[in-house]
């Protein structure tokens, strides 16, 4: 009976700390809370539509948006991020509508801030909802996205959002030098406290497809891709260089996108820079989980809390997720 001999027992029994719930609670290293959540919302100029590949997600009219926001505030979620579904008639090669001070997004921002001044409102700065070709910038005859002319429009878009009262502008375009240009324009126009959360390390991912359906840009983009500006999924050092540049240019917070396939990047970013770090748990990640959940193959509550918890463990301060409302409910009843 070797187990009865002194010295034959394991010196360390890690299971001892796992044996009771109180001990597991006491030694838990990271915790997800409602304070970590940012909820993405699609707002449309047209009819409300369910997004097929994202069960539970809709394009909302301005009225529908205000109902969503009421829920979000009641759940205690600190911030939302808005994405516009633009009328196809308003899409042009140069995305002029993106800088319209009375466009859909400035209107939505004003409406939210009027009723819920405490809620953090974040907007996406990028041209893909507004271009007739679905790219995030203006293109030349070969379809190549032109950097500096795109930055000019992004700056005007930024100011249209800031003038409407947005709290955080969030450029998702991956043009070089855009943070510097946006920061300068914000400062020069008196918006000293407008936060920039840059999509610093945004990868050319296959996980954005459901979002492009939601936005109505998939058809415009066709078979084209975004690999001449988004980071190659195989790269790490390049992602860190992007983050370093964005911080130097004036970003306050940085984001890694997509989320779960890129936890290694999140970890390196947080360790290297120690700045507020966020992840975008993107549409394709949501779609995958939902598909399995709807088939009864995964338990929604457990899978969602474990997935979002992984971002905290990797080093994230917060996460943009379509599960934000569900997670807030689960956390409230934990």
**Residues in contact with ligand PBG by the rule CB under 6 A:** 124, 126, 128, 136, 172-173, 208, 211-212, 226, 282-283
CB of 230 to ligand PBG, least distance (A): 7
Q: Is 245 exposed, middle or buried (0-12, 13-18, 19+ CB in 10 A)?
A: middle
Q: Which DSSP category does 281 fall into?
A: E
Whether 172 contacts 136, CB under 8 Å: yes
Q: Which of 107, 202, 270, 290 is catalytic?
A: 202
- Of 283, 325, 279, which is closest to residue 39 (Cα–Cα)? 325
Nearer to ligand PBG, 126 or 266 (CB): 126
| Cα–Cα distance for residue pair 328/79, rounded to 1 Å | 12
202 is catalytic: yes
| Cα–Cα distance for residue pair 282/319, rounded to 1 Å | 10
Q: Which of 226, 257, 270, 312 is catalytic?
A: 257
CB of 100 to ligand PBG, least distance (A): 18
DSSP codes, 224-284: ---TTTSBPTT-SHHHHHHHHHHHHHT-SEEEEESSGGGHHHHHHHHHHH-S-EEEEE-HH
- Span between the terminal Cα atoms of the chain, in Å: 43
CB of 228 to ligand PBG, least distance (A): 13
The tokens describing 172, both together, are 């998702």
CB of 51 to ligand PBG, least distance (A): 10
Nearer to ligand PBG, 208 or 330 (CB): 208
In angstroms, what CA-CA distances link 292 with 178, 287, 298, 299, 304?
39, 9, 6, 9, 12
Nearer to ligand PBG, 11 or 54 (CB): 54
CB of 20 to ligand PBG, least distance (A): 39
Report the DSSP beta bridge partners of residue 253: 197
Nearer to ligand PBG, 157 or 172 (CB): 172
CB of 272 to ligand PBG, least distance (A): 24
Whether 63 contacts 191, CB under 8 Å: no
Nearer to ligand PBG, 194 or 230 (CB): 230
| Cα–Cα distance for residue pair 47/241, rounded to 1 Å | 42
91 is catalytic: no
| Cα–Cα distance for residue pair 16/12, rounded to 1 Å | 9
299: left (phi over 0), alpha (psi -120 to 50) or beta: beta
Nearer to ligand PBG, 183 or 202 (CB): 202
| Cα–Cα distance for residue pair 171/310, rounded to 1 Å | 25
* Active site (catalytic) residues: 202, 257
């Amino acid at each position: 009976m070797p187990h009865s001999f002194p010295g034959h027992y394991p010196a360390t029994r890690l299971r001892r700390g796992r044996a009771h719930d109180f001990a597991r609670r006491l030694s838990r290293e990271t915790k997800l809370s409602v304070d970590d959540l940012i909820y993405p919302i699609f707002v449309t100029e047209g009819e409300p539509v369910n997004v097929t590949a994202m069960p539970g997600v809709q394009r909302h009219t301005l009225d529908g948006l205000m109902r969503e926001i009421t829920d979000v505030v009641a759940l205690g979620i600190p911030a939302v991020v808005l994405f516009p579904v633009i009328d196809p008639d308003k899409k042009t090669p140069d995305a002029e509508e993106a800088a319209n001070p009375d466009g859909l997004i400035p209107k939505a921002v004003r409406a939210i801030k009027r009723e819920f001044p405490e809620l953090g409102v974040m907007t996406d700065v990028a041209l893909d909802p507004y271009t007739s070709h679905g790219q995030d910038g203006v293109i030349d005859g070969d379809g190549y996205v032109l950097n500096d002319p795109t930055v000019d429009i992004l700056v005007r878009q930024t100011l249209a959002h800031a003038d409407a009262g947005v709290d955080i502008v969030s450029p998702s375009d991956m043009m070089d030098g855009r943070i510097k240009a946006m920061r300068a324009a914000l400062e020069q126009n008196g918006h000293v406290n407008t936060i920039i959360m840059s999509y610093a390390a945004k990868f050319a991912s296959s996980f954005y497809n459901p979002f492009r359906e939601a936005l109505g840009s998939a058809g415009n983009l066709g078979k084209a891709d975004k690999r001449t500006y988004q980071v190659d999924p195989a790269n790490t050092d390049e992602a860190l260089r992007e983050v370093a540049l964005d911080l130097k240019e004036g970003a306050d917070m940085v984001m890694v996108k997509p989320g779960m396939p890129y936890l290694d990047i999140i970890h390196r970013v947080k360790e290297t820079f120690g700045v507020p770090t966020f992840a975008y748990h993107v549409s394709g990640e949501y779609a995958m989980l939902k598909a399995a959940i709807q088939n009864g193959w995964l338990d929604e509550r457990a899978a969602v809390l474990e997935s979002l918890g992984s971002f905290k463990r990797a080093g994230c301060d917060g996460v943009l997720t379509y599960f934000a409302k569900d997670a807030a409910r689960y956390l409230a009843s934990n």
